[in-house]
Amino acid sequence: MIDLLADLLGPDSAPLKPLAPSARPVTPADPETACMGRVSEATLAQLLGLTAGRIRQLQQDGVFQRVGRKDESFDIAASVRAYCDFMRDSVKRQGSTDELKAEKVRQAKAAAEKLEIANAKSRGELVPVAEVRAAWADLLRDVRAGLLAVPSRCGAELATKLAAEDVAVIDREIRLALERLADDR
């Protein structure tokens, strides 16, 4: 019978001890569990690794049902199945509670981040992206215009030293450099 119960509980359960001599197995009415019998509250507690008080509490909660003439014993198979079902349901309930907690934490973090952004905006630490892009575009337009003016300014100041072809080479190189910068974007 111990081996049968160990199979029901699975390989991760604590090793089972033989039933106490006071536990008198009685043949249950259900033929499927006829080989298993009934046990006392203390034996069921030992079998499941619980206290007798916890067995009584679970019985009051409707997990275990007493059987017998004077309701003094528990059917082993039915009790083990009921306890396994109870534990599975507990794990499912705990899983949904964990998901709910995780969602609340995520929402709290999002709210805190939103508040931090609003505070940074009010302190002037953040600027709109469109304004930054417009400022950079203006600056780069001015830089481009200044660079493109270099060959003609150099040609005018150095007219005696530079030929028109030299000014054209400088102009071509500056334009090429600007095109390469534009292509890298």
pLDDT in tens, 25-53: 434 444 444 446 889 899 999 999 999 99
pLDDT of 97 over the 80 cut: no
Q: Which is higher by pLDDT, 58 or 162?
A: 58
Residues 72 and 12 reside in one and the same domain: yes
On whether the CB atoms of residues 28 and 75 are closer than 8 A, the answer is yes
pTM of the predicted model, to two decimals? 0.38
Is residue 112 situated within a structural domain? no
- 48's tokens: 């499941």
CA gap 86, 52 in Å, rounded: 17
Is residue 123 situated within a structural domain? no
DSSP 24: -
Are β-strands 66-67 and 38-39 bridged in parallel, bridged antiparallel, or unpaired? unpaired
**What range defines the domain where residue 165 resides?**
129-184
Picking from 38, 73, 89, the residue at the C-terminal end of a domain is 89
On whether the CB atoms of residues 74 and 65 are closer than 8 A, the answer is yes
Q: Which is higher by pLDDT, 36 or 150?
A: 150
Residue 37: CA count within 13 A, CB half-sphere: 13
Picking from 68, 89, 110, the residue at the C-terminal end of a domain is 89
Phi/psi zone of residue 10: left (φ > 0), alpha (ψ -120 to 50 degrees), beta?
left
Segment 118-128 shows an average pLDDT of: 89
Is residue 95 situated within a structural domain? no
- 8's tokens: 């029901």
φ and ψ at residue 66, rounded to 5 degrees: -75, 150
φ and ψ at residue 167, rounded to 5 degrees: -65, -40
Is residue 9 situated within a structural domain? yes
Q: Which amino acid is at 69?
A: R
On whether the CB atoms of residues 42 and 52 are closer than 8 A, the answer is yes
Is residue 141 situated within a structural domain? yes
